[in-house]
Amino acid sequence: MADHGEYIYIFWDGDAPHEVIRGHVSNADAVDLVEREGIVSEDYSWESIEHDYARWVPDATGEHDMIFLRAGGPGRGAFPVTLLYYD
């Protein structure tokens, strides 16, 4: 399980719509983290961040082990995330 402020590596089907960080972190902390992790260079541009909640759920199709779903708010099994959107 990831710790607060830790980058969550997700293998998307197609292009990633955003980067995901566990916990609600500031814009500056989110950008610093993806730069430190080598996800992007420091001259990369970000459109915005969003704080939400998400959960991991089993994939009923069997194609993947788990699927990352936005929960839309706190709830059972949901954890806080910061979503960092590309410019």
Cα–Cα distance measured from residue 21 to residue 47, given in angstroms and rounded to the nearest whole number? 16
In this prediction, residue 43 carries a pLDDT of 65
In this prediction, residue 76 carries a pLDDT of 93
Q: In what order do the strands lie in the sheet with 46-58?
A: 7-8, 18-22, 79-86, 46-58, 66-70
Check pLDDT > 60 for residue 2. no
Q: Where are the domains of the chain?
A: 7-86
Q: Which pTM does this prediction carry?
A: 0.83
Check pLDDT > 60 for residue 1. no
Cα–Cα distance measured from residue 82 to residue 77, given in angstroms and rounded to the nearest whole number? 16
pLDDT tens digits along 15-68: 788 899 999 999 889 888 888 888 875 666 777 899 999 999 999 998 889 999
